[in-house]
């Protein structure tokens, strides 16, 4: 059925507003929004409480759940689930990881969570799953971080689904950003703030409160420098002032090493404190690095190494041989291992809603401003409560004076509202009085609403004489508190005194002695003992295994050695072995890095001690560096490009360098010493030969491609290269028959097409 539209019934077409914009602008705005979200809402701490959002929400959730320091532990899975469901919808792993770090005393200057169970170790062991571990708040967290939340000291905002309220910041009374430090990676920026000693931080805050014009140098008379939970030694103390003035810099850390005497005149080094940067898997790396120093013969002083660390602390023992140079060995450990490391400082935090790199004074100043704001709001709330209490107490005292009249009103009234109206407004209508005098007195009553409610709720025992005296005493105390609170709110010095008194109490209760020593130490200088120079024989088999042998032993097994190895030559143990590969690279390997073994020992693959990759490269030639520098070398590629290169061109301190330049899809097929040779013979894959004088090949730099040595047919390539003198009877096998190269016609120039041997 067809429907005809009436002319009067016009269809309304919805107009769409299309906004045309550049795609790059949309991407830029979206990315900036995303970046700021990561920076503000996840990665960076707030300068006021020193906490990231996930940390703040976790602590607040534990507080709301009633998991206090004096209550039983609760499962971490419960804490994580509740935090994720109410405040932090970003996944359980991030919440649990934050909870674990807050409980690890080797990462935080002051742990904020009391963990029960396996919360990981200083050696990098991870925490147990959250279904196994339990936690509760530390006492310092409850008393210093979460106290007074009921006094309207901070703003609360709706959570992500607007079903709960959460604090925008916790009312922390110490600069937690300094005490516990912070580490976080945002988008395009990162924060790295070291931990500090609580007692020193408190002293610096007090100094700032007493003198707002104090300099950073002045603050550092109290706050000496970072104090890491792992101890250790800061060895560049003079750099700290610049770091705290700029908010960025590098702190050099060393582990603490002690010398213990053993029987027989021997001794051992014991690492009792490690740099903060060695936390976790870096302890294992340190042990491997020390073992590597022994294996590579950087030191012969270490006989044994053992990790005897326990819950009592770090104890890494290095047993030394008798007569070991202890100071030189310490310097070796500082130079070659993580026992000395750098902690990069970047004091980046969210300040005023935006990320900002702050110096020491700015951090303390921001925190003190915040504490004054919190204290002001606290005492405003307390003052309001006391004023309300004063109003009620005044009403009750006044009521005691006219209690007989009030009782008469109560007995003559029909409802609570009728009594309340009489007490507040003097309305006597409907109330039965015994006398007109009582009614007249009642009409003059003018209690406030709050006072009237208190009178109606008052119990009769409050009319006892002692109770009335107690009420008057409470009233006097209330008046005194009001005067105190008003003084605190109106006078900076009074509020400052309250804050300083509070800080002194916190310091007394929770401060611990400094753990990290501060000093100016000279840079570690290790004098590597030069090995005694002596000749060694180098051997490399066809599988790429290399080894060194004593030349006398090698000479005795000469026949076996030459039969089983591809390269054999003698060099000094201070020399290097050069490996030329078909990729055009030259790998230089120190002879000292190649194991000195017996004949039947296998040796080590070239891959293990150089950048050579046996999967992608093929070794064409090997020689000692000392000989390479003295000779001239012929390079020939598969496409027939040739050149002579002086060995001095190949001198470099690099482990790997380009020995020649190759065109795309080309490969090196020959490297050899030109020496006294006079002629070169090129053999192709299709059986063509070209012989011409070596002098026809130009000498070039290593970065040059070279000159055309032979004109090749399509899909043909150079297969082999032979260097001969004019009179040599060099014999090769072609198609199963022996041929001497002198049978190949001698061409006067390079670049010919070649001939076929019959």
Could you tell me the two tokens for 51? 């906490």
Look at residue 221 and give its three-state secondary structure: coil
Instruction: Kindly list the distances between the CA atom of residue 1 and the CA atoms of 6, 8, 524, in Å, as whole numbers in the listed order.
Output: 16, 21, 97
Question: Measured between alpha carbons, how far is 659 from 263 in angstroms, rounded to an integer?
Answer: 55
Question: Measured between alpha carbons, how far is 518 from 254 in angstroms, rounded to an integer?
Answer: 10
The string over 728-741, giving b where at least 16 C-beta atoms fall within 10 Å of a residue's C-beta and e elsewhere, is eeeebeeeeeebeb
- Catalytic, 132? Answer yes
- Please state, as a whole number, how many other Cβ atoms lie within 10 Å of the Cβ of residue 528: 10
Could you tell me the two tokens for 610? 């150089």
What is the secondary structure of 546-579 as a DSSP string? EEEE-HHHHHHTHHHHHHH-SEEEEEETTSEEEE
Radius of gyration of the chain from its Cα atoms, rounded to whole angstroms:
43
Check the CA dihedral 238-244-250-253 and report its sign.
positive
Give the DSSP letter of residue 524.
Answer: P
Look at residue 151 and give its three-state secondary structure: helix
Instruction: Kindly list the distances between the CA atom of residue 697 and the CA atoms of 370, 701, 727, in Å, as whole numbers in the listed order.
Output: 81, 13, 20
CB-based contact 683:730 (threshold 8 Å): no
Q: Between vectors from CA 271 to CA 265 and to CA 273, what angle results, nearest 5°?
A: 150
Q: 404: buried, middle or exposed (CB in 10 Å: 19+, 13-18, 0-12)?
A: exposed
Range 523-527, long-range pairs (CB < 8 A, 24+ positions): 524/330, 524/331, 524/334, 524/335, 524/340, 525/331, 525/335, 526/328, 526/331, 526/332, 526/334, 526/335, 526/336, 527/328
CB-based contact 750:697 (threshold 8 Å): yes
Question: Measured between alpha carbons, how far is 98 from 95 in angstroms, rounded to an integer?
Answer: 5
Q: Which residues pair with 549 in a beta bridge?
A: 537
Maximum Cα interatomic distance, the chain, rounded to a whole number of Å: 155
Could you tell me the two tokens for 648? 């001095």
Question: Measured between alpha carbons, how far is 99 from 56 in angstroms, rounded to an integer?
Answer: 10
CA-nearest of 720, 632, 620, 621 to 680 is 720
The string over 588-602, giving b where at least 16 C-beta atoms fall within 10 Å of a residue's C-beta and e elsewhere, is bbbbbbbebeeeeee
CA of residue 639 relative to chain centroid, distance: 51
Which is the catalytic residue, given 31, 34, 132, 562?
Answer: 132
Check the CA dihedral 463-468-474-479 and report its sign.
positive
Looking only at the bridges linking them, the beta strands covering 316-320 and 267-273 are antiparallel
Write down the residue that tokens 């000292």 correspond to: 592
CA-nearest of 728, 748, 607, 614 to 675 is 728
Question: Measured between alpha carbons, how far is 603 from 542 in angstroms, rounded to an integer?
Answer: 13
Provide the annotated active-site residues: 132
């Amino acid at each position: 059925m067809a429907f005809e539209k009436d002319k009067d019934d016009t269809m309304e077409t919805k107009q769409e507003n299309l906004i045309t914009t550049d795609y790059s602008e949309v991407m830029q705005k979206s990315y900036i929004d995303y970046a700021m979200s990561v920076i503000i809402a996840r990665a960076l701490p707030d300068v006021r409480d020193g906490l990231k959002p996930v940390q703040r929400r976790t602590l607040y959730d534990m507080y709301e759940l009633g998991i206090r320091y004096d209550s039983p532990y609760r499962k971490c899975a419960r804490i994580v689930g509740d935090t994720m469901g109410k405040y932090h919808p970003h996944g359980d792993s991030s919440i649990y990881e934050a909870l674990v770090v807050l409980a690890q005393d080797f990462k935080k200057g002051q742990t904020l969570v009391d963990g029960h169970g396996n919360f990981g170790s200083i050696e990098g062991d991870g925490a147990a799953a959250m279904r196994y571990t339990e936690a509760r708040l530390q006492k310092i967290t409850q008393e210093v971080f979460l106290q007074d939340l009921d006094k309207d000291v901070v703003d609360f905002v709706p959570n992500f689904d607007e079903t709960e309220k959460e604090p925008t910041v916790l009312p922390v009374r110490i600069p937690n950003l300094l005490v516990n430090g912070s580490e976080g990676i945002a988008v395009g920026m990162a924060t790295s703030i070291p931990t500090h000693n609580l007692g020193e931080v408190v002293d610096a805050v007090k100094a700032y409160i007493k003198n707002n014009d104090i300099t950073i140098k002045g603050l550092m008379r109290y706050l000496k420098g970072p104090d890491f939970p792992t101890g250790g030694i800061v060895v560049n103390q003079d750099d700290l002032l610049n770091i705290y003035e700029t908010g960025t810099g590098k702190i050099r850390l060393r582990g603490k090493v002690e010398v213990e005497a053993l029987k027989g005149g021997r001794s051992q080094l014991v690492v009792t404190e490690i740099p903060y940067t060695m936390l976790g898997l870096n302890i294992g790396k340190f042990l491997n690095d020390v073992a590597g120093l022994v294996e590579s013969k950087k030191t012969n002083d270490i006989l044994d190494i053992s990790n005897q660390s326990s819950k009592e602390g770090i104890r890494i023992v290095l047993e030394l041989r008798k007569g070991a140079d202890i100071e030189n060995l310490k310097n070796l450990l500082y130079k070659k291992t993580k026992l000395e490391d750098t902690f990069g400082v970047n004091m980046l935090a969210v300040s005023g809603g935006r990320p900002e790199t702050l110096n020491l004074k700015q951090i303390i100043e921001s925190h003190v401003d915040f504490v004054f704001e919190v204290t002001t709001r606290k005492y405003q709330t307390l003052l309001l409560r006391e004023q309300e209490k004063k109003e009620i107490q005044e009403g009750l005292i006044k009521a005691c004076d006219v209690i007989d009249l009030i009782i008469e009103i109560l007995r003559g009234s029909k409802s609570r509202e009728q009594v309340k109206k009489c007490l507040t407004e003097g309305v006597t209508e409907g109330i039965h009085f015994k006398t007109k005098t009582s009614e007249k007195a009642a009409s003059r009553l003018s209690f406030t609403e709050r006072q009237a409610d208190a009178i109606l709720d008052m119990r009769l025992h409050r009319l006892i004489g002692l109770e009335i005296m107690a009420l008057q005493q409470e009233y006097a105390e209330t008046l005194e508190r009001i005067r105190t609170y008003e003084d605190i709110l109106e006078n900076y010095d009074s509020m400052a005194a309250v804050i300083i008194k509070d800080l002194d109490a916190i310091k007394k209760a929770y401060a611990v002695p400094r753990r990290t020593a501060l000093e100016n130490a000279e840079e570690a200088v290790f004098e590597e003992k030069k090995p005694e120079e002596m000749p060694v024989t180098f051997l490399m088999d066809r599988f790429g295994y290399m080894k060194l042998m004593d030349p006398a032993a090698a000479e005795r097994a000469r026949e076996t050695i030459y039969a089983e190895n591809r390269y054999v030559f003698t060099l000094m143990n201070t020399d290097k072995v050069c490996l030329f590969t078909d990729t055009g690279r030259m790998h230089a390997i120190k002879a000292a890095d190649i194991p000195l073994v017996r004949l039947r020992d296998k040796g080590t693959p070239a891959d293990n001690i150089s950048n050579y990759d046996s999967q992608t490269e093929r070794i064409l030639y090997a020689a000692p560096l000392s000989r390479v520098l003295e000779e001239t070398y012929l390079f020939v590629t598969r496409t027939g490009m040739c050149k002579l290169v002086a060995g001095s061109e190949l001198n470099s301190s690099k482990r790997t360098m380009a020995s020649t330049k190759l065109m795309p899809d080309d490969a090196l097929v020959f490297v050899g010493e030109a020496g006294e040779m006079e002629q070169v013979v090129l053999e192709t894959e299709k059986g063509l030969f070209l012989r011409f004088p070596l002098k026809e090949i130009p000498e070039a730099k290593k970065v040059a491609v070279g000159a055309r040595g032979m004109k090749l047919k399509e899909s043909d390539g150079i297969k082999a290269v032979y260097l001969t003198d004019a009179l040599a009877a060099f014999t090769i096998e072609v198609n199963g028959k022996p041929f001497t190269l002198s049978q190949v016609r001698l061409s006067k120039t390079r670049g010919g097409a070649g001939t076929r041997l019959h």
